[in-house]
Structure 1
Amino acid sequence: MDLALAQLLDGIGPRLRRIRQDRGLTLEDLGTATGLSVSTLSRLESGKRRPTLDLLIPLARTHRMALEHLIGAPPTGDPRVHLTPHRTEPRTGNPSVVVPLTAYPGRLQVFKQILGPSPGPPRQVTHPGHAWFYVLSGDVRLLLSDRELLLHPGDTADFDTAEPHWFGPATDRPTEILHLYGPHGDRPPPG
């Protein structure tokens, strides 16, 4: 085994412990969530048990991390990211261009969104999940049930999408936001 591989393998246990502790989980919490025994998790974190896929995959699912991020694998292949913007149908009345920044199905999604002016009156919608966005440029009008808010560059919004909502440009000019959406009520970490 070469030195780089040995160092990677030796670093997995402490990395797993750090991830668990950073998320405020005990070994018991993690055991319950993954179905792995506390003793197996403890031996894995201390380096006394070799990491195998049947142990790492449940941990990656529970932590909602890609396997390579979980173990700290070195980058491979082309590090360039080729973002593919797409237009959204004006389901809520305002057309937009979405640039996905993550591609983890069923998990917290991050994208840049350019919101175009609404051709008609705003129509509030509801759906499961949680939304958070940061205004990059322009002014955003946010309707939450019977409340109306005006957000400027640097402002953020954080709301449950089960509440009737609509957001779009406050003027006839497009706005840009950084948008995080959790389909299961996932929220960005507090910061």
Structure 2
Amino acid sequence: MQNAKTKMPIVLALLAALILVLGACSNSENKDKEHKAENDHSEMDMDHSGSGEVPEGLTAAENPTYEVGSQVIINSGHMESMKGAKATIVGAYDTTAYSISYTPTTGGEKIENHKWIIQEEIKDAGEKTYEPGAEVKINSSHMKGMNGAVANIETAEKTTVYMVDFTPTSGGEKVKNHKWVTEGELSAAE
């Protein structure tokens, strides 16, 4: 009996260590899946280049920090190979920019914290600025399954938004008329 009692703490310690190791592997695997999902969202679903058309009612900014034609650096990563890219400003507009969460009309997993749609891309928005938590209908197609989807507002920011042309940092084809990058996500190119 003495032998079984002395072995019990060792067996329990080994079992606890095994549980910790398995838990760590599981967390790492989940993080890999989350990272892959973010990249799939940013790369595969986003329409990289746009037509250059702007929503009805959107007017050009009178005194933007970055004038049309200026060279800038993108300091955000809405999609892979965007952060750090050199860009040219193609349009500057004063509006409210929203980050949103929504389930695509084409099905699939909910898209969390998509940046950005603007006031003029919300169906029947008018002048009213929406608060976080508000439910709105999207009238834009930056991504497949976005147009007509119901979204929850995550953040709202009155700012100047920019349409930009840029070459991804990983190389490849130039992205034209990308909508939208906010003023706070840009810095002047040197």
**TM-score, length basis structure 2:** 0.24
**TM-score, length basis structure 1:** 0.24
